Amino acid sequence: MGFTAAEIAGTCAADPGPSGFSPREQLLLRLVNELHDTARGGEALWQKLRAGWSEAQLIELIALVGFYHLISFTTNALRIPLEPCGARFPAR
pLDDT digits (tens, 9 = 90+) for 19-57: 678 889 889 989 998 999 899 989 999 999 999 999 999
Does the structure show a pLDDT above 70 at 78?
yes
Give the whole-angstrom CA distance, residue 63 versus residue 22: 22
Give the whole-angstrom CA distance, residue 68 versus residue 55: 20
pLDDT at position 71 is 95
For 4-21, how does the pLDDT look when each residue is reduced to its tens digit (9 = 90+)? 877 777 777 666 566 678
- Secondary structure of residue 74 in the 3-state scheme: helix
